Amino acid sequence: MNLFSIAWKSVKQRRLASALTALSVALGVMLMVVVIVISGAVDGVFNQRTIAYDLIVGAKGSDLQLVLSSVFRIQPPIANLPLMYLDQLKNDPRIETAIPLAFGDFTKPEHGAFPIVGTTTEYFLNEYTPGKMYEVENQPGTRQLNGHYDAVIGSQVAYQNDWKVGDKFSIVHGSADSETMHDELFEVVAVLRQTGTPNDRSVFLNLEAVYTLEGHQKSVEEVETRLQDFYGNDAERLALAMGQLKQLREKRAKGQELGDAEMGYGMDTPDAMKEITAVYVKTRSAFDAVRFQSELKNTSKAVAVNPIRPIQRLMTNIVGNIQKALIALTAMIIVVSGISIFVSIYNSMSDRKREIGIMRALGARRGSVFAIVLAESAVLCIGGGLMGWLLGHTLAIVAAPQVSAMTGLLLNPWVIDKSEFVLFPVLLVLGALVGFLPALTAYRTNVADALNG
């Protein structure tokens, strides 16, 4: 019969008080584990290389907003770039891949208000994160956006709306709460497998189709001004764009004799009238990326942003601090639980004075009774902690599919974060701290008084 088994007996003797105090520790630890698991998932989304591209090219403005809008799709885009600029990028020898993206519309609020991304099939033929290619759920399906009104949807969009290949839907213009609905119906041609990225909650449409939607056309005058602003230093490209606009004006001058398409509102809209929000760029080398980025900074109205750095800044300055605050809060809960253990054990000391006296009379040293009380506190802290750790991971395991479907966060409840390894030594120290005073009371117990009392 060792000191721990004696301590365990004492814990069992005060079943209810022990269970409640251990439970309070368990709840604190459970919360902490859940925060750690969710933080891990958030880190996974924001801190890793969530997209397998070196640069995001967009209109000049906030780097962070460009990344949040084009990669995470949680901010409205800043401004647009001329589509003609995409050709320029594609022809740059330093650039291996340039994929256009156009944002601005959403699925209807009752369909989850998921962002619409106008792009090309090339988007799906590249890795979404290093080493991972898009896969299609529930064959038959395709990663091609061949048809004008084809739509490839993310896993969360499909889950929330119960959409399958062949289902049709319409979208709203502008913002998620806009009342302007596009008349066109888009057909799901593929459901992407879950990626754990913002792609899961995105709807991909054919870029060309996006231009034909009502309300996406700007006036020729407005486009002209924008092009002049963008290509102010590039007379050759400006002349090319202006030529296209001139032709469009001439077509429109003929007026009623032409159909919509030829009027420049449909499929034959000249490239000069088209805009994109951002371009995902993969360069041939890291050096090319740096050189290209620096070149744009000095010479262009576009900007190339490393998709990781603004997010790292965001994580360091805001998200990371929120995570730290949450962990600190749960740590406080654990400390409060520890105090409840202290109160529970300390209050029991007067009842146990006689027991301690008996043990001392039987030959237990002061150090032994001190250790027994300390062990009791440690048993409650570690036992509660273990229970909370298991509960936390169980909760994460049970909730992971639901959370993942609802938020797109890929929780990995099976992975044990390195901070969890610190948890138990910390609980042991907490147990020692909260048990110290009651243990000292046991240590100082006057045997003769305790036996006579």
Q: Which residues bind other proteins (CB under 8 A)?
A: 1-2, 6, 9-10, 12-13, 354-355, 357-368, 447-448, 451-452
Rounded to the nearest 5 degrees, what angle is found at the Cα of 79, between the Cα atoms of 78 and 82? 150
d(CA 420, CA 430): 15
* Shortest distance, position 438 Cβ to other proteins, whole Å: 17
**Cα–Cα–Cα angle for 159, 165, 168, nearest 5°?**
90
* 12 vs 324, beta carbon nearer other proteins: 12
CB of 364 to other proteins, least distance (A): 5
**Rounded to the nearest whole angstrom, what is the least distance from the CB of residue 346 to other proteins in the complex?**
19
Quote the tokens at residue 217. Answer: 């056309």
- Provide, rounded to whole angstroms, the least separation between the CB of residue 5 and other proteins: 9
> Which residue in this structure is represented by tokens 């739509």?
151
The CA dihedral of 228, 234, 239, 240, to the nearest 10 degrees, is -110
Distance of alpha carbon 378 from the chain centroid: 37
**What is the distance, to the nearest Å, from the Cα of residue 102 to the centroid of all Cα atoms in its chain?**
21
- 315 vs 349, beta carbon nearer other proteins: 349
Q: Which is nearer to other proteins, 223 or 364 (CB)?
A: 364
Residues present in the chain in total:
453
Task: Give the DSSP H or E segment for 165.
Answer: none
Closest distance of CB 414 from other proteins, Å = 39
CB of 428 to other proteins, least distance (A): 23
Min dist CB 17 to other proteins, Å, is 13
Residue 268, CA distances (Å) to 108, 212, 221, 261, 346 in order: 28, 9, 18, 6, 83
**Phi first, then psi: what are they for 18, rounded to 5°?**
-65, -45
Q: With respect to other proteins, which residue has the nearer C-beta, 13 or 312?
A: 13
Nearest to 59 by CA among 302, 222, 285: 302
Give the Cα separation of 23 and 61 in Å (integer): 51
For residues 42 and 409, is the Cβ–Cβ distance under 8 A? yes
Q: Which is nearer to other proteins, 232 or 367 (CB)?
A: 367
Q: Which of 193, 354 has the CB closer to other proteins?
A: 354
Give 182 or 360: the residue with its C-beta nearer to other proteins: 360
**Helix, strand, or coil here: 195?**
coil
* Enclosing H/E stretch for 333: helix 320-361
Regarding beta strands 171-172 and 136-137, do their DSSP bridges make them parallel or antiparallel, or are they unpaired? unpaired
Shortest Å, Cβ 3 to other proteins: 9
User: Coil, helix or strand for 322?
Assistant: helix
Write the CB contacts of 417 (distance below 8 Å, at least 6 apart in sequence): 36, 37, 40
The pair of structure tokens assigned to 101 is 């993206």
For residue 451, the minimal CB distance to other proteins (Å) is 7
- Decide whether 6 or 430 has the Cβ nearer to other proteins: 6
Smallest distance, Å, CB 194 to other proteins? Answer: 52
Residue listed under structure tokens 């022990």: 18
Task: Report the residue number, 148 or 354, with the smaller CB distance to other proteins.
Answer: 354
Q: Which residue's CB is nearer to other proteins, number 22 or number 359?
A: 359
Cβ-based nearer residue to other proteins, 20 or 358: 358
Distance between CA atoms of residues 209 and 267, nearest Å: 8
Could you identify the residue written with the tokens 């998620």? 176
d(CA 130, CA 119): 20
The nearest distance, CB 26 to other proteins, in angstroms, is 23
